């Protein structure tokens, strides 16, 4: 296992196993899969946008690993956390990511929920527009 980066202000070590699985150092002291769990610190990836993948590629290269591993990082967990987070900041950060990077189809249920429960009118309207883009419907 090779530590590649640290996430959040808590600087949680994140690495890749020899099998290419992304893991993090859990508080209990052992390494846990990022794919099998959605630790709350994952939401901190969202404000970085496309720079996250670019930085991650650079860090992989510096660690002597293939930069294509950046494409396997479970960003979907970060987006899902943001969309379901109870505060406007993370909801908006997740929506901003989806608007910039695409991939909205995977989050249809979360977006439909935000249409009704989003923390601000801007969030609700953005979610509605993204849902329309997926479904082609005039209203969710």
- Judgement on whether residues 63 and 107 belong to the same structural domain of the protein: no
How many domains in the chain? 2
Residues 134 and 86 in one domain: yes
Listed residue (49, 36, 128) closest to 82, CA to CA: 49
Helix (H) and strand (E) counts in the chain: 5, 4
Query: For 26-64, how does the pLDDT look when each residue is reduced to its tens digit (9 = 90+)?
Result: 988 899 999 888 899 999 999 998 899 999 999 999 999
Distance CA 19, CA 22 (A): 9
Do 20 and 80 reside in the same domain of the chain?
no
- 100 and 127 within one domain: yes
Is residue 130 within 8 A of residue 79, CB to CB? The reply is: no
How many Å apart are CA 44 and CA 102, to the nearest integer? Answer: 18
Structural contact between residues 76 and 89, judged by C-beta atoms closer than 8 angstroms: no
Task: Looking at the structure, tell me whether residues 8 and 61 fall in a common domain.
Answer: yes
> Same domain for 6 and 42?
yes
Q: Give this prediction's pTM.
A: 0.90
Are 53 and 111 in the same domain? Answer: no
Which residue range is the domain that position 97 belongs to?
76-139
pLDDT by residue (tens digit) across 112-140? 999 999 999 999 999 999 999 998 865 44
For the segment 80-115, what is each residue's pLDDT rounded down to a tens digit?
Answer: 999 999 999 999 999 999 999 989 999 999 999 999
Q: Tell whether 36 and 80 lie within a shared domain.
A: no
């Amino acid at each position: 296992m090779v530590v590649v980066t640290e996430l959040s202000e808590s600087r949680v070590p994140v690495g890749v196993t020899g099998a290419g699985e992304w893991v993090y150092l859990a508080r209990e002291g052992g390494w846990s899969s990022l794919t099998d769990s959605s630790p709350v610190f994952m939401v901190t990836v969202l404000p970085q946008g496309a720079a996250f993948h670019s930085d991650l590629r650079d860090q992989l290269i510096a660690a002597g690993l293939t930069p294509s591993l950046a494409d396997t990082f479970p960003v979907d967990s970060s987006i899902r956390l943001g969309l379901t987070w109870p505060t406007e900041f993370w909801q908006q950060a997740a929506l901003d990511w989806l608007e910039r990077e695409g991939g909205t189809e995977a989050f249809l249920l979360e977006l439909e929920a935000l249409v009704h429960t989003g923390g601000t009118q801007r969030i609700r309207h953005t979610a509605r527009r993204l849902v329309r883009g997926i479904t082609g419907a005039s209203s969710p």
